[in-house]
Amino acid sequence: MASTTFTDKVTVVATSWLNDVNAIVYGGTASALTRNATGNWSIAAPSFANSTLTLNGNQEIFTLTTTSARGSGSNYVRFQDATGTKGYYGYVGVDDTFSIQNILNSTFQIWTNSRLCSSIASTGNQIMFAPTSGVTLDLKQVTGGAALTFSGTAATTTNGITFSGSTTAPVVLINGTNTSGLLKIALEGSTGNTSWTNSLAYSTGIVSQTSTAIELAPAGSSRLVLTSDGRMYGTALHNNAGAVTGTTTQYIASGTYTPTLTNVSNIAASTSAKAQWMRVGNVVTVSGQVQIDATAATAYTQLGISLPIASNLTLATDLSGTAACQSGPAIQLVGSVKGDLTNDRAALEYYVGADAGNLPYSYIFMYEVL
Domains and CATH numbers, the chain: 1-63 (no CATH), 75-128 (no CATH), 158-188+212-236 (no CATH), 255-368 (2.60.90.40)
Query: Please, is 240 exposed, middle or buried when counting C-beta atoms within 10 Å of its C-beta (0-12, 13-18, 19+)?
Result: middle
- In this predicted structure, the answer to whether residue 189 has a pLDDT above a threshold of 80 is no
- In this predicted structure, the answer to whether residue 129 has a pLDDT above a threshold of 80 is no
CA of 88: how far to CAs of 74, 91, 102, 232, 336, in Å?
11, 9, 7, 53, 85
Output the pLDDT for position 260: 98
Answer yes or no: are the C-beta atoms of 286 and 273 closer than 8 Å.
Answer: no
Q: How many Cβ atoms are within 10 Å of 254's Cβ, its own excluded?
A: 19
- For the residues 140-148, what does the mean pLDDT come to? 61
Cα–Cα distance, 103 to 82 (Å, whole number): 15
Overall pTM surpassing 0.85 (yes/no): no
Cα–Cα distance, 241 to 107 (Å, whole number): 47
pLDDT band for 53, please (50, 70, 90 cuts). Answer: low
Output the pLDDT for position 171: 40
Answer yes or no: are the C-beta atoms of 262 and 340 closer than 8 Å.
Answer: no
Q: Which residues, other chains included, contact 228 with Cβ-Cβ below 8 Å and sequence gap of 6+?
A: 208, 210, 211, 212, 213
Condensed to tens digits (0 to 9), the pLDDT of residues 58-76 reads 777 778 777 777 877 777 7
Condensed to tens digits (0 to 9), the pLDDT of residues 101-114 reads 888 888 888 888 78
Output the pLDDT for position 333: 85
- For the residues 170-180, what does the mean pLDDT come to? 43
Percent of the chain at pLDDT exceeding 90: 31
User: Taking Cα atoms as reference points, which of 246, 262, 230, 254 lies closest to residue 349?
Assistant: 262
Higher pLDDT, 350 or 48: 350
- In this predicted structure, the answer to whether residue 340 has a pLDDT above a threshold of 90 is yes
Output the pLDDT for position 99: 84
Output the pLDDT for position 215: 79
Cα–Cα distance, 341 to 19 (Å, whole number): 111
Answer yes or no: are the C-beta atoms of 309 and 280 closer than 8 Å.
Answer: no
- For the residues 312-316, what does the mean pLDDT come to? 94
- In this predicted structure, the answer to whether residue 275 has a pLDDT above a threshold of 90 is yes
Q: How many Cβ atoms are within 10 Å of 260's Cβ, its own excluded?
A: 11
pLDDT band for 292, please (50, 70, 90 cuts). Answer: very high
Output the pLDDT for position 174: 45
Condensed to tens digits (0 to 9), the pLDDT of residues 222-256 reads 888 888 888 889 999 999 999 999 999 999 999 99
- In this predicted structure, the answer to whether residue 155 has a pLDDT above a threshold of 60 is no
- In this predicted structure, the answer to whether residue 165 has a pLDDT above a threshold of 70 is no
Output the pLDDT for position 320: 97
Running DSSP on this structure, what letter comes out for residue 238?
Answer: B
Output the pLDDT for position 212: 72
- Range with top average pLDDT, 160-174, 288-302, 342-356: 288-302
- Average pLDDT over the chain reads 75
- In this predicted structure, the answer to whether residue 14 has a pLDDT above a threshold of 50 is no
